[in-house]
Amino acid sequence: MAFFNGIDKIKFEGINTTNQLAFRHYNQEEMVMGKSMKEHLKFSMSYWHTLTGMGVDPFGQGTAIRPWDETEDKIEQAKTRVKVAFEFMEKLGLEYFCFHDRDIAPEGKDLAETNAILDEIVDVIEMEMQRTGIKLLWGTTNAFSHPRFVHGAGTSCNADVFAYAATQVKKALEITHRLNGAGYVFWGGREGYETLLNTNMGLELDNLATFLHLAVDYAKEIGFKGQFYIEPKPKEPTKHQYDFDAATVLGFLRKYDLLDSFKLNIEANHATLAGHTFQHELAFCRENGVLGSIDANQGDILLGWDTDQIPTNIYDAVLAMYEVLLAGGFTTGGLNFDAKVRRASFEPIDLFYAYIAGMDTFAKGLKVAAKLLEDGVFENFKEERYASYKSGIGAKIRAGKTTFTELEQHALQYGVREIASGRQEMLENILNQYIYG
Ligand code: XUL
Ligand code: CO
């Protein structure tokens, strides 16, 4: 049974097509720097935004029209959504998906029943994965929506909640393992605080580290070899999220001896909320060897919250793919569209327009980034810019083989000989030229 009647498999038709249900840039088998586009991009569907997000906002109920949801039986509805999800992914040529435990299945009367329902839905997912060859990029836990998580999960002031959240992660790890997931994400949810007047920050951070160590231990126990990720975010829902940005997370992982077990999942809109560019967060991870995966979306410069929009900004896509290529490409990770249609885009077909827009933007971004790298545009400029560190006193600084006294002698003898222009505007114009083609 088809749910998206009248929509065929989305094909690559090239830049001159007038068909809005076609790709202009995403040609999955096209080779770019020795790898097919689909291997580079590893596009993934976010289950939550695509199947369960209804367009609710603080001022109004959901607006999304989803004809397949029209049943009172929540378990039947969840099973149908799995079928819808796989038809959607097949039609778009998406080879991966990501989910929270609570996206795929409704909660039962208690945790035991909830887990049993989850297993029932995972049976259907497993069958669909076998039928289509679509894979799980990562699984995760929703330990933030239910009122029991009002004070957080791993950082809750209440030990019962800590245990409950741990049990939920235990189960989510089991199903991720069963579905051969390539990774498992910890996004902070409500791991943060509103006021220090009632918060023991040290205790909460210690507990969060314990929570993560326990997850790593359990993964070993069950033989789950997927990659663990932390997804930084500075604020929302709490005023101050503990995983503020990539640098904060790195410091935390290092302090609590978790660096061997975790990489980062960088989300564009979280980067900008933290006052960074998307590229900055990716570059920081790349430089520190922890670039794992990407949640592709974009925010709105005029809004101070996580709008999770479909990424259509070509500059960001180019610069993000540039960082991914510099890092040597994805291994376990991929590009998960943690992005949703606007509330007024309420028809099922809007989901297609949205994913096509995001996939085409990143496909074009990949091609431009590859060309920039192949031509050495920025890398050659940077080589030249830092050339003074290749010989003489610069080489000694790089090798850690100098002293303040020697540097003083150098400064007294030579002063500062020549400082070159940074040529920012010229470089930005070259970037434009590569984008325009
Ligand atoms: C929230 C967010 C989450 C994580 C997974 O801002 O990005 O959807 O990606 O929990
Ligand atoms: Co995300």
Report how far apart, in Å, the C-alpha atoms of 71 and of each of 80, 108, 348 are: 10, 17, 17
Residue spans of alpha helices (H) in 240-347: 246-255, 268-273, 278-287, 314-326
Nearest protein CA to atom 3 of ligand 1, as residue:
187
Q: Return the pLDDT at 257.
A: 98
Nearest protein CA to atom 2 of ligand 1, as residue:
187
Q: Which secondary structure element, helix H or strand E, spans residue 126, and what is its range?
A: helix 111-132
| The pairing of beta strand 22-23 with beta strand 11-12 | parallel
Ligand 1 centre to CA of 187 (Å) is 6
Stretches where the chain sits below pLDDT 50 are none
Show the CA angle centred on residue 232, arms to residues 260 and 265, nearest 5°: 60
- Give the residue numbers marked as catalytic: 100, 103
Neighbour tally for 286: CB within 10 Å: 16
Nearest protein CA to atom 10 of ligand 1, as residue:
187
Nearest Cα to Cα of residue 204 among 253, 161, 156, 149: 156
Nearest Cα to Cα of residue 40 among 324, 336, 360: 324
Q: How far is CA 136 from the centre of its chain?
A: 14
Neighbour tally for 402: CB within 10 Å: 15
Q: Return the pLDDT at 1.
A: 74
By the 8 A CB rule, do 269 and 298 touch? Answer: yes
Ligand 2 centre to CA of 295 (Å) is 5
Q: Is 302 helix (H, G, I), strand (E, B) or coil?
A: coil
CA terminus-to-terminus distance, the chain = 43
Pocket of ligand 1 (CB under 6 A): 100, 140, 185, 187, 231, 233, 267, 295, 306, 338
> Of ligand 1's atoms, which has the minimum distance to the CA of residue 233?
6
Per residue in 48-57, pLDDT (tens digit) is 999 999 999 9
Nearest protein CA to atom 5 of ligand 1, as residue:
187
By the 8 A CB rule, do 87 and 3 touch? Answer: yes
Tokens of 333: 């990770």
Measured distance CA(117)–CA(121) in Å, rounded = 6
Ligand 2 centre to CA of 190 (Å) is 14
Per residue in 136-193, pLDDT (tens digit) is 999 999 999 999 999 999 999 999 999 999 999 999 999 999 999 999 999 999 999 9
Ion ligand 2 neighbours, Cβ < 5 Å: 267, 295, 338
